[in-house]
Structure 1
Amino acid sequence: MKKLLLCLLFLLPFAGFAQSINDYQYVIVPAKFDFLKVADKYRLNTTSKLLLEKYGFKSFLSTDTLPAEATQNRCAILYASLSEDNSFFATKIKLVLKDCTEKVVFETDFGSSREKDFHVAYNQALREAFKSFDRINYKYNGKQYMGKSETKTADPVAVTGVAEVKSVASASVPVAEPLQVASSVALYAQPITNGFQLINTEPKVVYKIYTTSVKDFFIATKGELHGVFFAKGNSWFFEYYQDNQLISESVAVKF
């Protein structure tokens, strides 16, 4: 029984998401960071994307079109954000990379700058923060995502033997039961590059959804939350993980 459970841990695609940053090759950088009011303010978003590419990642802004292989598994993607800790004398920011369950996979040290000009200060601090990548020697290992519908896992044969692997592979794995949440406000879809923004009557943007190669299936953001937005029957749902709990929001939207 212990061997069987161990084998299941190897086979489950969500096991060990945050084990290594080398398990990921895709990073999505938001078009606007939460602590700033304007998209790509001080060119921090574009610069973050370019610096991630410098260190070997395949990075995209949230408004970019993702390659098909990335859209097949949202949990093969890391999501970037910036965190600031400014003082009167210094501008300090760090980069945070989270997986699809909002778990931090990697964060840099704070980079800082004493420049008074914000454009110069934020960019100096950002480049200083990215120096944390120099010490980890990032290199994608191909383990997390193979570009198809499968996740590469450690070889369970070496642990349990071929016969036991076959018995586990044929067993059904239970699907997580989501916590259901209903949205009481009707939203309206406005086209944006590569998708839509869903707004309420204020008007305020509540969701941003981005097209994939699958009909009626979108990569979605709601503030800092990252998930998927899809049609099921005659209804729309936004699903995401929060504190390891799968949340499913029913959303009334008019396209």
Structure 2
Amino acid sequence: MKKIALFLFIAVTVSAFSQSINDYQYVIVPAKFDFQKENDQYRLNILTKLLLQKYGFKSYLTTEELPAEIADKRCSVLYAALEKDNSFFMTKVKVVLKDCKEKTVYETAFGSSREKEYVVAYNEALRAAFQSFDNLNYKYSGKEEKTEVPPVVPVTPKPEMPSSSVENTSGVFFFAQPTVNGFQVVDNEPKVIMRLFNTSQKNVFIGVKGTINGVVLLNNNQWFFEYYENGKLISEPLTLKF
């Protein structure tokens, strides 16, 4: 009987969250969470934005220009926060979505990781926390506000400048060599050009190239290294051999 009562309590709680969170379409992610020492430390802020988009939200960083329909409507959006509960051997975080009055609209369970490297640990823990969204069945219940779109004036495109050094070049291959937590990517010399760390998802890695942290993923049989630079998403093709 107690188990049935507990199940009903959880079901009602999830339903209440759903009824409330479905009223919101946009989520604003801060450039720096309370426990971070710098903007996007451990790439948590970018990853939070991307994972929210994965589950159907329209998410923006506070450093990005907001759409006109929400720019002056502070209470029509949710605000993301991360809370941590770390121990000596474990990194734990959970996601909290609040309204403009600081009322919690939804929060996930804590996701955890035992990895020692902070970048890997926080990324794994955050992805684990987002698994709570699988049971949320989020779907925006409101109507999208239509904004008047000004006529498009044709602009002569400027020639694209070549991207950074791991951009795919015809005939150039990079080799992924196994490591304890993933792979190291080397060129023909061989010189290590970046490192890949395993995640809970197949064909998705945390990519670290110098001071740049991002995601390496397989899309339509093509590998890409994706990261943000000055608020702009950069997607570089990679030709990898495992």
> TM-score when scaled to structure 1?
0.49
AA in 1 matched with 2:139? K
Kindly indicate whether residue 132 of structure 2 is the aligned counterpart of residue 132 of structure 1: yes
Partner of 1:79: 79
Kindly indicate whether residue 145 of structure 2 is the aligned counterpart of residue 147 of structure 1: yes
Partner of 1:61: 61
> TM-score when scaled to structure 2?
0.52
Matched residues in 1 for 2:17 and 2:135: separation?
Answer: 21
Partner of 2:41: 41
8 Å contact from structure 2 (residues 28, 61) kept in 1:
yes
CA offset at residue 88 of structure 1?
1.0
Matched residues in 1 for 2:43 and 2:62: separation?
Answer: 15
Query: What stretches of structure 1 move > 4 A for 4+ residues in a row?
Result: 16-19
Matched residues in 2 for 1:68 and 1:31: separation?
Answer: 20
AA in 2 matched with 1:147? E
8 Å contact from structure 1 (residues 98, 106) kept in 2:
yes
1:17/1:75 CA distance change after superposition, 3 Å: farther
Matched residues in 1 for 2:56 and 2:121: separation?
Answer: 25
Aligned pairs (5 A) from 1:94-113: 94-113=94-113
1:76/1:148 CA distance change after superposition, 3 Å: farther
CA offset at residue 46 of structure 1?
0.2
Q: Write the deviation string for residues 130-163 of structure 1: whole angstroms up to 9, x where unpaired.
A: 00000011111116xx5279xxxxxxxxxxxxxx
Partner of 1:22: 22
Partner of 1:31: 31
Kindly indicate whether residue 112 of structure 2 is the aligned counterpart of residue 115 of structure 1: no
Matched residues in 2 for 1:148 and 1:102: separation?
Answer: 28
Report the RMSD for the aligned CA atoms in angstroms: 2.1
Gaps of 5+ in 2: 1-15, 148-242
Q: How many residues are matched?
A: 132
- Using the aligned pairs only, state the percent identity: 68
Q: Write the deviation string for residues 100-141 of structure 1: whole angstroms up to 9, x where unpaired.
A: 010000001000000011110000000000000000111111
CA offset at residue 20 of structure 1?
1.1
Q: Write the deviation string for residues 196-224 of structure 1: whole angstroms up to 9, x where unpaired.
A: xxxxxxxxxxxxxxxxxxxxxxxxxxxxx
Partner of 1:194: none
8 Å contact from structure 1 (residues 90, 113) kept in 2:
yes
Q: Secondary structure at the match of 2:22?
A: helix
Matched residues in 1 for 2:17 and 2:66: separation?
Answer: 21
Matched residues in 2 for 1:119 and 1:17: separation?
Answer: 30
